Amino acid sequence: MNFFAEQDHARRNSKWLILLFVIAVIILIGLSNILIAACLWMFDSTSELNLPDNRSFFSADILVFVSLVMTSVIICAIAFKWFQLKDGGRRIAESLGGQRIPPNSQHPEQQQILNVVEEMALASGMPVPSVYLLKDEIGINAFAAGHTPADAVIGITQGALEQLNREQLQGVVAHEFSHILNGDMRLNVRLIALLSGIVFIANLGEFILHTQRYSHRSSSRSNNNDARVAAAGFGLLALGWIGLFFANMIKAAISRQREYLADASAVQFTRNPNGIADALKIIGGYDAGSGLRTPLSQETSHMFIGDARRLGSFFATHPAIKSRIKRILPRWDGALIKRDIKKVAKPIYSKTSQQQAKKQRQEQLKKTVFVAAAAEAAINALDNKSDKAEFTLSENTVTVSGELAHLPDGLLSLAHDPCGVISVVYALLLSNYEAQRAKQLDDIKDNLSKSSRIEETLQAWNWINSVDKSYRLPLLELSFPALKCMSAKQYQRFMDNLRSLIKADQQVDMYEWCLYHLVKHYLSHQFEKVTHSKPVYSSIPALSEPFSVVLSSLAYFGHDNDTETQRAFGIGANSIGLYTITLLPLEQCQVEHFGPAVKKLANAYPQIKQRILRALVACVCLDKQLTVLENEMIRCIAAVMDCPGPQISLGVRRP
């Protein structure tokens, strides 16, 4: 699956969305003018108004005025909705009634979905997103929401946790990860914002009718204006219904094919068609189906894996369940899996059961990373048949995610604890020199007892120091859900401490830059005002300068002698078609040059980003060995560019 091509396709769909939206608005403005003319005619039917004889209910002044008012109302409604959604996936999940599942949850069902999300994140080359549970929803459904992978969340209903087994949950979560990687997630958020402007007209009509009804009941007499106001309210309500018609039609036109694509991607991720197919069979045979009770299910219906609202086939945002299953399993016999609604709440788990669940979770996490490694290998094997073969140059694969199973259980538990995870990140920055390490620890400021924080950080450092450096980045990626549980004040103190730890030796090396910017990129959207990267550069030559800086940096940091450095740079430059650029001097490839260059590359179009990442991978793959720092730099570059990290199948050379 070429996710970059699909992101470009999603971007083109955004243009179609805007075009369809403009057409719908023009039609609504025309109908609004007809409505206003009808209202003026009704007002003119009484003697209370003395309009001139040469009046025209369709005059240019009225037409312009009504058009401006309608356009302003729609724009204001869109702006308000966009402001509500500016916090990304977290805000959408909470508005639907979702509650964040703690990363260290002891509930077996919640542990299972957390583990499944972790394995899919590792397999797809992106950090682990937070998981939100819609605990009051008995329908089987799930969604992915956010503007970028950095603020993405996965949401799932209680019904899905109760009715689906691990294999089926893998299929559902893989389906949602496809929406993240294909660019559908951002398109879905734009759909919510744009269509809210159209639907707002219906809400305005309902408000007028409600106000008029209340005014009529509270008044001892009525007058002719009541009928006119009611007529205006009904007119706006009718316009809103027409707007809702267009909104449903636009959602259906854009989202149906994306659902087929996400189903196919789920099969590719898991290498198991039965997972997603059986989940769809259960939805089809389940009494509650995939329906949701939340009032916002109407405007967010296109985001879910199944139909959140039961609409006619013409307006359905998803293809028919049977049609989707048939595409996954062409020889399917048509039988659905029947399930009953679990109406009785499950009993509280005993202390013994909780202890067993904790042990099972630690064992399951180890299994998780092996499944992720298998998924990576399967995807790479499939990619060998496509145009991305340079990502898998060797079968001697050492996947860091697979090696995570060898991390100490205490370190993994600490990485999932919302309080202890801070110590893990601090430990990743501690120096190997005792005097320098003591100075770093002394600079840490924390609300927790300082001695307790230092002790916990040193324990984490000892665990990390006992294993290979290649575990650092995957450990950090597993830590993000717990880090997102911080408050704004804790986040500010945490980032201040990170800067103090990094600057303790009065210099910033490439590893420290990568770690800091990964943390900032995946956490800042929740606590700061963030400006997302936008596609600006559509050609490679326009990015030759920042690309030269990044490529030169990779060539220097990944190769030992001048000849190999020059060859690596040349291979990367030639593979992207920049034959005239030259290797920059080492002093122009330091962190202060590297950072701004990467951020500029983030403003390229998706297909350009793909070519850039391929060229960078070609550079580091020259010697068919991957250093830990090269891997960290590539993953950090991909993260800042809002791209999945490329899975490079090479032997890892320890520095």
Helix, coil or strand: residue 35: helix
Distance, CA of 470 to chain centre: 26
Please, what sign has the CA dihedral across residues 136, 141, 144, 146?
negative
Q: Which helix (H) or strand (E) holds 154?
A: strand 153-157
- Quote the tokens at residue 598: 């990467």
Token pair 């914002």 in the structure block, residue: 193
Surface-to-core class of residue 77, CB atoms within 10 Å of its CB (0-12 exposed, 13-18 middle, 19+ buried): buried
Counting Cα atoms < 13 Å in the Cβ hemisphere of 641 gives 32
CA distance to 47, 59, 108, per residue, from 54 (Å): 16, 11, 77
What share of residues in the chain are helix, strand, coil (percent, to 5)? 65, 5, 30
Measured distance CA(148)–CA(531) in Å, rounded: 11
State the alpha helices, DSSP H only, in 446-506.
450-465, 472-483, 488-503
Encoded tokens for 163: 């009715």
144 DSSP β-pair partners: 154
Reduce the secondary structure of 328-396 to three states and give it as a string: HCCCCCCCCCCECCCCCCCCCCCHHHHHHHHHHHHHHHHHHHHHHHHHHHHHHHHHCCCCCHHHCCCCC
For the stretch 111-125, what's the b/e string if a residue is b when 16 or more beta carbons lie within 10 angstroms of its beta carbon?
Answer: bbbbbbbbbbbbbbb
CA distance 17 to 187: 9
DSSP 111-147: HHHHHHHHHHHHHHTSPPPEEEEETT--S--EEEE-S
CA 195, CA 193: separation in Å to the nearest integer?
Answer: 6
- CA distance linking residue 406 with residue 595, whole number of Å: 33
Q: Report the distance separating Cα 36 and Cα 56, nearest Å.
A: 12
* Catalytic residue ranges: 176
Q: Are the C-beta atoms of 513 and 591 separated by less than 8 Å? A: yes
